[in-house]
A and B are shown apart, each in its own frame.
Chain A
């Protein structure tokens, strides 16, 4: 969902009834971030810069520089994905919606095209020769093409179907907003789980780094730009969920030390506040309970979760659960494959 939010002439002092618009700092179509200066206003007492209340795009400029505008009246309109806390009390004192909800699908704004991180489906590519030629000619990255041929080989049909780039971009943007709003979606979550045995030894640091690296290729499966791996740590104080941000981009030695110190802290009931938010996925290690599997849990605002189960001294069971609203069944299998391959 998107919202059309009118940025109004603010009341800056008790007696202020109007303000003069001096100039705009933005133009129609500009992307702005929360806190950016939108325009300057002047009263008999003060000059003030009015800031954007949220990230968004300038939709329209309603007033002109030099205009005297009553307080509470719109100066410009911006489109934003964020629901801005804005109230307007009408003359009868009842709150009315200050913000117009735009229910149409979020339009792509006119100016610069949306640049999205590519969704990489295959790290290694197998493709028939003509598909490679075709992809090269059309500038298609074969790693982003879904392979439906035998032995996961990209066929001509697959490449020809890869004309969906704009649609993928659209969906990716839509996904992010929806995942963020996950807490409000009350319909039951359609999910799927995949399991693989792994004959490998790995510690938490290695595991979360490997999983983060896989998720790095799937920015569409998270509400954030970063990859945040929450690791459940049990203690006598209950379950702690410290979040390790971008663990695949940290030196493994440093990450190992961080995991160790955080684990210790968690066991003592102390986890740094900064590490308590920003999770895009969660890892449950069941081996401490000698369990091989558990009921899959997907946290709100997350699309994936992983459990590490115990099978034998030499074999672990890695299980991935995905939210089918945001991740295809087939993709889930690919994700688990990629994770297991890298362990």
Chain B
């Protein structure tokens, strides 16, 4: 079964074959095959004309991608660590996100920015962040967080098709492992802006993003054997966010738990809570909304500290048990 890196590579290759205007640029994406091996042999298959190795110049790289996108190309920009998008923020947030709106629709930016995020590799504070809220808070950007290889392939194909700038956040720990489901053959797209109900239950609704979807799935499996059934929802696209399935599910279970990797303060998952709190489904809640998120600290280096900084399977399990037991 394909790993996430392989699934992403497959999607890019399909897009390359479908459209000549699609190309990839970034640091070490060409000859080296990508810092995390995602672009792999694409340089050899498509050549230096379509797989561009760039100098270390994130602002310039993303700006060039914006300019190319304005001129009829469909660039895929790879930024080596999502932490480095900070260097390129003007082009991401002030230019790409706003051009279509500011210019009254005269121009648009069909650009995909792919970047690995998240902690667990011991890369420490500046190479381990989860920056979902940075992008999700900017109108004009679409933000996608795949949790498994099958979704990654279909979502990336849709992102490349999309005439707007899409930020595609891949998790480092997921690159080298296959998912639960095999990656489908062919070029089937998964539409952006559609949440997925990964499993259905009646006792608790869990909404999680990225790697937390997989941890929550493990918890759901374990608790199912004890008679606690959990609905697990993966938004997949965090902006624009599809809340429909969440409302529907909470009206059945009455209990909502949200799980994200990034720090709790002003994190993305608060958007789910905010929408729930103001919705007509609020009256279905029989328990307070439970939030599990990263500690409000930069990611530490030592492995035991690194683990403690973000929710783990045990944390999710304990929280799920507690909410179901104490709130009836």
* Contacts known (A128-B288, A130-B254); A155 close to B283, Cβ less than 8 A: no
* A156, closest chain B residue (CB): B286
Beta-carbon contact of A128 and B282 below 8 Å: no
Which residues of B sit under 8 angstroms from A130, Cβ to Cβ? 254, 283-286
Which residues of A sit under 8 angstroms from B328, Cβ to Cβ? 155-157
Beta-carbon contact of B327 and A129 below 8 Å: no
B interface residues, tally (CB under 8 Å)? 11
Which of the residues A129, A131, A133, A150 comes within 8 Å of B326, measured between beta carbons? A150
**When chains A and B are docked, how far (Å) is the Cα of A150 from the Cα of B282?**
19
Q: Is B287 an interface residue (CB 8 A)?
A: yes
Which residues of B sit under 8 angstroms from A131, Cβ to Cβ? 286
**When chains A and B are docked, how far (Å) is the Cα of A212 from the Cα of B158?**
70
Beta-carbon contact of A149 and B327 below 8 Å: yes
**When chains A and B are docked, how far (Å) is the Cα of A131 from the Cα of B254?**
11
Q: Mark B74-94, 1 if CB is under 8 A from A, else 0.
A: 000000000000000000000
* A158, closest chain B residue (CB): B328
For window 115-150 of chain A, which residues contact chain B by CB distance below 8 Å?
Answer: 128-133, 149-150
A interface residues, tally (CB under 8 Å)? 11
Which residues of A sit under 8 angstroms from B283, Cβ to Cβ? 129-130, 132-133
* B281, closest chain A residue (CB): A129
Which residues of B sit under 8 angstroms from A149, Cβ to Cβ? 326-327
**When chains A and B are docked, how far (Å) is the Cα of A155 from the Cα of B324?**
12
**When chains A and B are docked, how far (Å) is the Cα of A130 from the Cα of B252?**
12
Beta-carbon contact of A128 and B286 below 8 Å: yes
* Max chain A Cβ within 10 angstroms of own Cβ: one of B254, B286, B326: B286
**When chains A and B are docked, how far (Å) is the Cα of A132 from the Cα of B327?**
14
Q: Which residues of A contact B (CB under 8 A)?
A: 128-133, 149-150, 155-157
Q: List 28 A-B contacts (CB under 8 A).
A: A128-B285, A128-B286, A128-B287, A128-B288, A128-B327, A129-B282, A129-B283, A129-B284, A129-B285, A129-B286, A130-B254, A130-B284, A130-B285, A130-B286, A131-B286, A132-B283, A133-B283, A149-B326, A149-B327, A150-B326, A150-B327, A155-B286, A155-B327, A156-B254, A156-B286, A156-B327, A156-B328, A157-B328
Q: Which residues of B contact A (CB under 8 A)?
A: 254, 282-288, 326-328
Question: Shortest 3 CB-CB distances between A and B: which pairs?
Answer: A133-B283, A129-B285, A157-B328
